[in-house]
Chain A
Amino acid sequence: MGKETSTKSSDKKFLDRQEETLLQKGKELVSQLHASIKTAQIYEQNNEMFIKQSRKLFDLISELIQKEGEILLVSKEGYLFLNDLRLKFDLEKYAGSKFIMEIFERFDMEKISIEEGVTSSELDSFVYLFGHLNPEEKDIFDLFEEKIHKLGISHIKVERIPLFKKESYKKSLQENKRLAKKTFFNAVTVVREAMSSLESRKTVNIVRVKRMVQSLVDLIMEDEGTFLELTALKNFDEYTYIHSADVCVLSIMCGVRLGLEKNKLCELGFAALFHDLGKVRLPYELINKPAEYDDSEWVQIRRHPELGVKTILSFRRLDDYSMRAILVAFEHHLNLDLSGYPKVSKKRDLNLFSRIVSIADAYDAMTSGRVYIKTSYSPDETLKRMFYRSGIFYDPVLLKVFINVVGVYPVGTLVVLDTGEIGVVCGINSEDLARPRVKIIADRYGEKKEYKVVDLRKFDETRNEYHFSIVQTLDPQRYKIDISQYLAVE
């Protein structure tokens, strides 16, 4: 029996190791494929750069085929699978994975299978097609398949997304948007309820909180965009609750980029959601005071991290979730150099989650312009200000990760385009952070017009320049522009 168990556990370890190796190779494959397609978009097939990159990809594919027999890369439900194994991506590989999923979607493709015997010239031609076919063309998949056939690529096969899946994917995208909105409002409701329960010394339904955060994690992993819009909406009556939900969402997004495991993301979301819980113990009038705080009021406000710890201790048992929440509640205003509050007696390294939440918290508070930061800044201005304090207040690398999430022109930024039109950023392109999607709200004469969304990545081949570029950002409050009305998620 003992022997059997030990054989079983060593088998299991062996399988786990094998899975881990495949996972690593899978991430590498996606990354190399991304680099190869990018190279193909710039260089011709006989260019040295292209050939060099393509060789790297070929070597990796050969190695994988030797081990696995064949390669099956599938894009399904917002994830990439290699031979049935779901691939997970960290910061370095994140953009590449998004790019490849986008390629699958744009080419109407669900699967790529590469069989034993594939040659480097087959692979070169295959990759080159991605760089040179226009995905906007009608029946792009048929065209793509026809080219593969014509070029004599026999060891690489592609499979179209079945129509029913495409329809359901479209539906699920819409459904996800609806669910995202609902879950975001759930988050606000959960915070509101938790805070009022604590005020009246009732218990907080932790299972409900966990389920809500888990839903947020799932939805954010599938569609960040909707949540970026939702966090850009500002509501002045329920600032504290919405702020908590915003910080929760932004922190999870940052965690996704860092490649954190789902359970860790949930822990992060939970801690972020309750980072300001201490405010429940401060007078309502103080929290919502419409004017600047005096010194004594600041003393009170600065107590909310410790009060947060106490509040969490008062309603939660000590487990992984609550302990992380305690840590984040305590550290989120400490600053990286510990110059913030509360003052600490010993030097300490801020926890990863506290570093993330402090960035999300500052960003949301500064763009909201409520509570004790009385002046609001536009999202891009906020990022600039935060960037100046990088390494002092905020972890510099995490701040960069955060900007990669929200974009250089975050959703909600009021911009002027080189056409003279005014627009509001309504979505970012992670491939090109300076070229978001913009909803145009006024023409070059200042006239209101039908709203139209333009993608700033759109390139005019004939004029050899982009159709639209941002030339300036503006402060919406100064011109009485309510950004939220242009962002309302359908």
Chain B
Amino acid sequence: MEELEIKKERLEKEQEINEAKKLLDFFLKALKNIMIYPEDNPIPFEFKKGLYKKFKDFLEKNGEFKIQVDSTNLLYQNEVIYHDQSKDVRMHQEKSIAFFIYRDGIREIKFEMGLPEKELNSFLEILKLVVKRLVPEDDLVTLLWGKDFNFIKYEVVDEILAEELSYSTQVFSQPDFEKLYHSEIDLPETEEEKKVKGEKVKIFVENIKAFAEGEITDLNKLLAMDQKYHPLEATISVFIEILNQEELPDFYEMVGLIEKGLDLLIETYDFASTYKIIEAIKQVEQRFSGISKERSERLKIAVERAGDKRRIEIIGEILNREKKVDLFSVQDYLCSLYWNSISNLINILGELKTFSARKMVCRVLEKFGRENLELVGKGVFDSRWYVVRNILWVLGEIEDRRGVEFVNFALKHEDVRVRREAIRILEKIGDSNSGTALIPLLDYDFNKIRIMAVKLLAKWKVKEAIKPLLEIAEKKEFHNIDIEEKKELLLALAIIGRDEIIPFFRKLLRKRAFFNREKKIETKILAIKALGALNFLKAKNLLTEIKTKRNKTLKEASAKALAKLELLPKI
């Protein structure tokens, strides 16, 4: 009978340990998922939900889940339920969850019944931070403490061994009680005296103990004020005070320390704070600009340094590495720098991997470009075609006529994507005077570029373009080119040349075609359409003339064009 009992107990224990092992396995899986996937991903979300359910079931059945920790194992009721398999010591330390917990001094963790989901999830998040080494100035113990969990308890071995202090107080040979009695002790002689003394103390104590309504209000105000306390703003106010009063060279030291602080903030991607500090430095610099040249110069250098090559490159690396960086803050920060950062920004523009980051830097360059157009425009000389294209976009956003000079340079770029962007931007910021730069593009290999150039030439009515356009149109091969290009070219000729170009059109329309007839008819129809797009007398006359021709196709096309002309306003 007794044996049976023992056997039953053993089986129950085995079962419990087995359940504990399963729970821990699932816990580790959940942790792994949380570490891999971003917070908003449904996978870790589902894992967390599942884990909470498993914990709830286990705790309801067993009351608590208590794990002992050693450097390689996690134990439940003295049985190993997790063992680090790795033989490589370094690998073991990199990956072993037991080691991470053990390393910070935790020897036991206990989850108690009633554990809320919020606590369990926070616990997982803390482990994630520690394992991923995201919190250099905290460890598992400090983070757990900060959460003040009610249902997760832990035992910590504190390895800090303090020295016993030897209290070397003032050395008194012998307390002089006798002197004391003969000089100072002034015991109340009567009951009345005693009462008076007692009353005085009582009044004082009552005054100290009781807080008047006004005092409580003041205190609550003070506490509320602290709720609104903004650490960075308060710190900046201290920086400003110190900068305002420090003598040289202490002033230089302070600026140097602020620079160091800025670098550390960048390392932690706190661009909102760096921005505010830079703005504060600029403010102090303004104050000193007429008073102390040395101080003003040093502060200017601090801002310049914040935008130097090395620092901007670090920011570029961060933008490529960290997906969660707040780009608006980075933009604010970069915008607060001086113009010296422009070339460095252009430099990282080519290194940034995401569209959003590139767009943000472009916006910064746009801001700088409004006052330093040349420096930004020079970006078109960059050897990387994609950088040039971005710079063109920036020039387009700035919409400053002076940018045409740089766009014209880009029109000659060997990369078709750059040329295309250049034409687009030229259209945005240029005018008819900028049109001649487009003429060389009429010979370009890619017809899309040619079409864009022709369209823009027509839009700006660039007279200088008539001759090269005519040269193209008069060539035999012209009939064979792409219909779209042919259409735009003829239209451009009509728009720019008007009366001057009528003889060309007449010749084209009257000429009889024997060879390549189909293409030539196509050209003629396109020419009729081009003439019909503009309501001017000579074009109308020519169309009327063609309408009388025998060719049915041309007749119909002319009739249509004339009918359309009737609807157009007269030019």
Contacts and interface: CB of A to CB of B under 8 A. Distances in A.
Interface of A: 1, 12, 84, 86, 91-92, 95, 182-183, 185-186, 188-190, 206-208, 210-212, 214-215, 218, 233-238, 242, 258, 262-263, 266, 306, 309-310, 313-314, 317-321, 323-324, 326-327, 330, 342-346, 348-349, 351-353, 355, 395-398, 400-401, 403-404, 408, 416, 418, 420, 422, 432-434, 441-442, 445-448, 469-472, 474, 477, 479-482, 484-485, 488
Contacts of B218: 396-397
A91 B211 contact: yes
A327 B231 CA distance: 9
Contacts of A186: 160, 162
B204 A408 contact: yes
B258 interface: yes
Given A182-B162, A351-B229, A314 B260 contact: yes
A482 B177 contact: no
B175 A480 contact: yes
A207 B139 contact: yes
Given A92-B216, A471-B187, A480-B174, A433 B209 contact: yes
B229 A326 contact: no
21 contacts: A91-B219, A188-B162, A189-B160, A207-B137, A214-B141, A263-B148, A310-B257, A319-B268, A326-B238, A327-B238, A342-B242, A342-B245, A344-B241, A348-B237, A398-B219, A418-B187, A433-B209, A442-B175, A477-B170, A480-B176, A481-B175
Contacts of B141: 211, 214
B160 A208 contact: yes
A397 B170 CA distance: 35
B201 A318 contact: no
Given A1-B42, A185-B163, A318 B173 contact: no
Contact of B184 (A346, A408, A441, A474): A474
Shortest 8 CB-CB contacts between residues of A and residues of B: A480-B172, A185-B162, A317-B264, A323-B231, A446-B177, A352-B226, A313-B257, A186-B162
A448 B170 CA distance: 20
A214 B144 CA distance: 11
B194 A446 contact: no
B177 A479 contact: yes
Contacts of B445: none
Contacts of B38: none
B242 A327 contact: no
B192 interface: no
A447 B42 CA distance: 79
B476 to A, nearest CB: 64
B275 to A, nearest CB: 13
Given A397-B211, A422-B180, A479-B176, A210 B142 contact: yes
Nearest to A312: B257
A62 to B, nearest CB: 26
B231 A258 contact: no
B249 interface: no
A469 B273 CA distance: 57
A1 B114 CA distance: 27
Interface in B142-167: 142, 145-146, 148, 150, 158, 160, 162-167
A418 B162 contact: no
Contacts of B134: none
Contacts of B198: 469
A318 B261 contact: yes
Interface string B210-252: 0100011011001101100101101101100110111000000
A313 to B, nearest CB: 4
B205 interface: yes
B222 A395 contact: yes
B160 A400 contact: no
Name the residue in B175, B215, B222, B264 with the highest tally of chain A Cβ atoms < 10 Å from its Cβ.
Answer: B175
Contacts of B446: none
B211 A400 contact: yes
A479 B242 contact: no
